Chains A and B, each alone.
Chain A
Amino acid sequence: MAEALAFWAVAMAIAAFTLPLAFRLFARFPDGGAGLSLALGLMLVAAGYFLLRVIGALPAGRGGVLLALALFALAMAALAIRDGRARAAFRRCRTGVAVAAALFTLLFFAFAWFRAYVPGPAPEYPMNLTFLNALLVSPDYPPHDPWMGGERLSYYYGGHLQAVILTASSGASAAVGYNLALAAVFASAGTAAASLCAALARWLLGGRARGWIAAAAAGGVLLLLFSGSLLGPFQLAAAHGAAPQGAFEAFGIESFLPDDPAARSATWYPDAYWFWWRASHLVPDTITAFPAYSFILGDLHAHVMAIPAMLLAIAIAAALWRGRGALSWRDHRRRPVPLIVVALVFGGIAFVNTWDAVTFAAILAAAVVARNLRAGEPRAATRRVVAALSWLLPPAILAIVAYAPWYGAFSSAASGLYGYAGAGTRPEHLFLQFGALILFAMPVLGWAFVRRAPSSARPFAVALAAPLLPLALWLILAATRDGLSAAFDARGAGGWVTLALHAAAVWLFTGTAFALARRRHRAAVVAGLAAFALLLLYGVELLFVGDNYLNYLPRYNTFYKVSLQARIILSVAAAVALVAALRGMAPRIRPVLAAPAALLFAAALVYAVIAVPNRADGFARNHGLDGSVSGVDSSERGLVRWLAENAAGAAVVVEASGRRWERGDDGRPRRSRQQPRIDYSAVNRVSMRTGLQAPVGWPGHQLQWRGAGARAGITHRQDLVDRVYTAPGAEEALAALRELGASYVVVASLERERYLDGVMPPFGTFLDTVFDVDVDGKRATVYRLPVAELVVTR
């Protein structure tokens, strides 16, 4: 509890420090941007900490993090003092600030409470915890790769760095900080959604519609964090034997029917193990994740930690769009603060989750261009677009320069843009996954048609480009890779229907956005966001980014990441559109929309309602917030603690590679026929819990991060680790250790389980035994390379 309180206090402090800046950037938001201040502050602190660590100005460890926070607080305080408007802004927005603080507190502690009841870690928990620890202990930056000793971390770890800022400042351990960081992301996403939706609603409905503004904010939070696919009601029905086969087949989810039709859940929620996980595989050969699923799963993954940043990016774009006057590069000279903020935030989005960089940069660009076009006469449109681009260029350059040290160490497996030649998404699945959000957003179309202006035909004509251009690109790319006829043949009938529906929706929403923008209608931003989200969904039916899955699951990652972006954007647009539509209707006919909307809303919430108790095992037992110690014996814990306290931050520690070895018929060590899985296991548990470097870890993931070209190197490292543990004598083991650059070798339960039949050499005879403990028959030993160095004292 103390750690949770400290964590919360640090988060609140960061949000409070950032308020003066938020007030400046989000002056037209009802809460002054208070709900976005934590996301903004963390982004800036993490960027500053990263840069100062790279140049060596900050040391490793908690002290360096606290210094970064102190410098940030000082900078924000100085900004507030020089600005002089912060106090007045606070007085004006104090209700919004209080609401944001209360909402954050509620969401944070509620989620932390839920996490305490979750019995086991998420699949990629070892990887994410390893990153947290590595970022904390790495003696220099860019940080070392804890699973590729001697190399720099090649991943987008900006979100993990933000988690480290909170964890180290509060004094929590990394394992507890993992869960509390999830809670902070959850809460920050909630407050950010509330702030953004409230702002959009206020611009649309006016300041007097307070109740409706609050409803839009609440709707945004619910749609973003708690709504899931419409699979939820089906899964609930199936668990209680009320699953009509016809309905399941109609929606193409017959695979979700229970194997045993007579089986019934013993609890009111489905009690089948991890039934909720299946919602992430609704569309075949992809992952159909959504925030509720991700938070219930509990992986502190980049795309999860990026959710507040995505909302922040949309908010900045919206705030810029809402401003007056055209923007150009001259504005950066007059007002350098927005330049720095935009550069660090949008550059930071790539740092947190590279998949989001292009999407949200495009939203920013669209907002700036739209503002400039709105600010002038149509005949000067070209000049204003050029001015908008001149405004965008300096932060773009600064964003790349600021994060250049990270780019230098980052290698990607992305191999380019390809045309998708597959079956496509069935319309039934589209409806289940996104239907509720799309339907909630549809009222925005009414504004273009109900209040029709004479010139609305032209915007819709121009909007045809929105569905046609991606289609044209697909034709070109598909033709060059698989051939057009193969691409056409591969797409099923359902896939074509989905494509057509998407194209129509994109055209309609884009046309509406253009029409509303032309009339300077404030609903343009809502329509624009909805159009953008639908364009993303349309795009993943046509195109994908090539990666390691290129040849067997081509659009696996693209669909996963881009559809999540679309869902987040659509959640915001849908909440505001629905509330605005309800408010615009006469009270007598309001139920016509409200009733079905409520029904659909409820259906979308069913997933979260039934998945949460299942994930928490019925809230039967409070496991605490430290998920790293479950199933770990005392000897192992002592070993980890010794290494954490005594090994230098740059040390390389050899632990089992994950492969299993045995003694063959000829008496020599050989790899066992049956090999256990290495990725997603806790094989690299020492580096996971200490952040120290292992020669190699999770080879499959390393391949994804570094590309196929790294395969040989990865395999060689695994072989070297195995040679350490299976060497016939000291010389071979020492040679392998030297080649790995390692100074420690661990022998505990896992090593004994993977290196069978006594294949391990007698380490104690040629290495120093620096830690050796046996508790309840479980022995754990740490060996170190012998030390021999001359010390000159004069």
Chain B
Amino acid sequence: MSAAPAVRRAPAVSVAALAWVAAAAVFALMRVGLAWNAPVGGLELDHLSGAWLASLSIADDRYAPTLFQALTALTLNWTDSEVPARALALAGTLTIPFALYRLRHALGEAGALLALLLLALDPAGILLGATASAVAWDAAVALWLVVALAGGRAPPPWGRAVLAFLVLTAGPLPLPFLAAAALLNARRLSVRALGPMALGAAAGLLATSLRFGLGGDGVLVPSFALFAESFGASGAANGAELAALYGLPLLTGGAVAAVWLGVRVRRGGHGPPPVETLVAGAFGVAVLWLLLALGSASPLPLAAAALASSLLLGPALARIAGALRDARWREGRVLLPLALGLAAVACFQLAAWGRAGGPGGAYGQALVASSLVLALAALAFLAVRRETRPPTLVPVLVAGGVLLLAGASGAAFNADREPLSGPVRPALVREAALEAAAGGLVVAHPRYREALAWSFRDSGVLLLASRVPPNAAAVVWPPDEAAPDGFVPLEGRWIVERAVHPPGDFLGWVHWLGDRGGLERETELAAIYVRPPE
């Protein structure tokens, strides 16, 4: 009798693989739109200005220069658009899912996936990874650094050299990871291991000190320069406000995960996995950076802390998911929905207050207070027993998830109306001034020195002057200064810079969660003067 024919099985795709693809897709989708559509603003605006001037071989403090910014300057030799640079940024950022895939053994499959999802939804990470600021590749470099140090397989010597080159030519986001790595590996460091890294770092230092061809004036480490700048950046929203608006879920979750890690290590009596130790150390350094820079408007400290937090929180959430799966849900079938319902009542009331612009009457306040108290009491009742403790995290996870999604969607799809993006400089002034000048000399007031570099790129030769020469054809002037003699104003509202202010108080924040386009905007106007018609 002949044997039965072999059954041909259809190719199987594992659930994990599908999950990875889905998470990577979410990661990419949250960034593509921003890279394509978002106006140039904030940090990107400063750094594109620096890169533009570098492409003209003009030294400027806004040219950091990281490797990415040097490549941006290169693209600006052929185009005046930010899109190619953003495409480069995106290309680098999209290696992050691969880096996390490599970390799945160290973080656990679910932990790495959840970390990827968190990174996908990190508002600061979305902004910096999809726009052409000098730190666009920082998150990717930091993650590959983690892969090299704690991903299991040590990279070959040439890999270490390349990584060292990339780290030294990157911005400051990898610094917390580097600091943590240096401390954790202090005892194990040998000349042999350091050799290739030193070579790579030296090459990077040479390249940055020579400003990638622009010429140098002493040693320059771009991560140091950008780190220092993060303490004095000015803008509409400071570090504390940015952290409150965009970083609350990740920072709080990261802090809790770090504490939980410490508790587990103490109870277990053994050291945590190397990658979690590294990331916990990096999180601590990044949070310290954030705390010291709370008064500054730079998003970098927040981005660094959120990056480290995501890697800590991912595995923690995976453990929580496991605990939720094993928890006794039946016993909470009344109290948990009750707590959620009461919390929802309080939230709806707060939202109403937010729309109204002020807290309601005594009845409303009593309703909110009692709802919250009762919800907390219900959760506390559940939390007392170990078996029913995990479900009490559900409202917290839901709240955190909602806030994270809100922040991510704002950053990804509503960038020009978010405080995170920083001030933008529309091209209206340039268009109007060039049209008014009709080929003649455009004169701008020194107050607009910073704005000229990017806004007026590829506009020929301008004159920056505090006194208008007689041969000026069009003048861009502050509206609060006296009009130049012999010129008349051009009708119109010419916006030089537009910044979005954060909500002023808690109720404003609540309102903003529901209506993200309603924040106060501050505009800096310019007046354009032309010669009167003869």
Contacts and interface: CB of A to CB of B under 8 A. Distances in A.
B461 interface: yes
Nearest to A785: B466
Interface size class of B (residues with CB under 8 A): 35 or more
Nearest to B295: A171
A789 B466 CA distance: 10
Given A62-B231, A74-B179, A786-B466, A57 B459 contact: no
A791 B452 CA distance: 9
Contacts of A84: 187
A82 B453 CA distance: 49
Contacts of A379: none
A214 interface: no
Interface stretch (A63-71, A284-292, A441-449): A63-71
Contact of B56 (A57, A786, A792): A792
A479 B224 CA distance: 59
Given A55-B218, A57-B220, A768-B466, A794 B187 contact: no
Contacts of A58: 224, 228
B461 A792 contact: yes
Interface in A752-794: 768, 784, 786-794
Q: Which residue, A55, A70, A140, has most C-beta atoms of chain B within 10 A?
A: A70
B438 interface: no
B292 A66 contact: yes
A624 B324 CA distance: 56
A81 B187 contact: yes
Given A784-B466, A788-B467, A791-B461, A57 B183 contact: no
Interface string B12-34: 00000000000000000000000
Interface string B458-483: 11111111110100000000000000
Contacts of A82: 186-187
Interface residues of A, number: 32
A59 interface: yes
A56 B186 contact: no
Contact of A57 (B224, B453, B466): B224
Contact of B229 (A63, A70, A787, A794): A63
Contacts of B460: 793-794
A463 to B, nearest CB: 49
A793 B229 contact: no
B232 interface: yes
B221 interface: yes
Given A56-B217, A794-B457, A63 B227 contact: yes
B235 interface: no
A64 B228 contact: yes
Q: Which residue, A59, A60, A64, A793, has most C-beta atoms of chain B within 10 A?
A: A793
B464 A789 contact: yes
Contacts of A794: 56, 80, 457-460
A466 to B, nearest CB: 48
B456 interface: yes
Contacts of A67: 224, 227-228
A61 B461 CA distance: 34
A79 B80 CA distance: 50
Contacts of B321: none
A56 B228 contact: no
B402 interface: no
Contacts of A81: 183, 186-187
A55 B230 CA distance: 21
A78 B184 CA distance: 9
A77 interface: yes
A63 B301 CA distance: 12
Interface in A49-97: 55-64, 66-67, 70, 74, 77-78, 81-82, 84
A63 B464 contact: no
A791 B451 CA distance: 12
B228 A791 contact: no
Nearest to A58: B224
Contact of A791 (B231, B462, B467): B462
B182 interface: yes
A interface: dominant SS = mixed
A323 B469 CA distance: 76
Given A74-B182, A792-B58, A61 B463 contact: no
A787 B457 contact: no
Nearest to A81: B186
A63 B232 contact: yes
B219 interface: yes
Contacts of B465: 786-789
Contact of A793 (B179, B225, B230, B458): B458
A61 B232 contact: yes
B503 interface: no
Contacts of A784: 466
B446 interface: yes
A784 B466 CA distance: 10
Contacts of B229: 59, 63
Contact of B231 (A63, A78, A786): A63
A43 to B, nearest CB: 22
A791 B441 CA distance: 11
Interface in B168-208: 179, 182-183, 186-187
A70 B464 contact: no
Contacts of A59: 224-225, 228-229
A64 B179 CA distance: 16
Nearest to A140: B218
Contacts of B182: 74, 78
Contacts of B444: 791
Contact of B463 (A63, A768, A788): A788
Contacts of A56: 209, 217-220
Contacts of B466: 768, 784, 786-788
A55 B209 CA distance: 11
Contacts of B183: 74, 77-78, 81
Contacts of A60: 228
A62 B457 CA distance: 32
Contacts of B464: 787-791
Contacts of A77: 183, 186
Q: Which residue, B231, B232, B295, has most C-beta atoms of chain A within 10 A?
A: B231
Contacts of A171: 292, 295
A768 B481 CA distance: 11
B232 A62 contact: yes
A57 B221 CA distance: 6
Interface string B374-395: 0000000000000000000000
Contacts of B231: 61-63, 66
Nearest to A60: B228
Contacts of B458: 793-794
Nearest to A784: B466
A57 B219 contact: yes
B205 to A, nearest CB: 9
B224 A791 contact: no
16 contacts: A57-B219, A60-B228, A61-B231, A63-B227, A63-B228, A74-B179, A74-B182, A82-B187, A768-B466, A789-B465, A791-B444, A791-B452, A792-B461, A793-B452, A794-B56, A794-B458
Q: Sorted from nearest, which 10 A-B pairs have the closest CB atoms?
A: A63-B228, A56-B218, A78-B186, A81-B186, A59-B228, A63-B231, A768-B466, A794-B458, A787-B446, A57-B219
Interface of B: 56, 58, 80, 179, 182-183, 186-187, 209, 217-221, 224-225, 227-232, 292, 295, 444, 446, 452-453, 456-467, 469
Given A56-B219, A791-B461, 15 more contacts: A57-B224, A62-B228, A63-B232, A66-B227, A67-B228, A81-B183, A81-B186, A784-B466, A788-B463, A788-B467, A788-B469, A790-B462, A793-B452, A793-B457, A794-B459
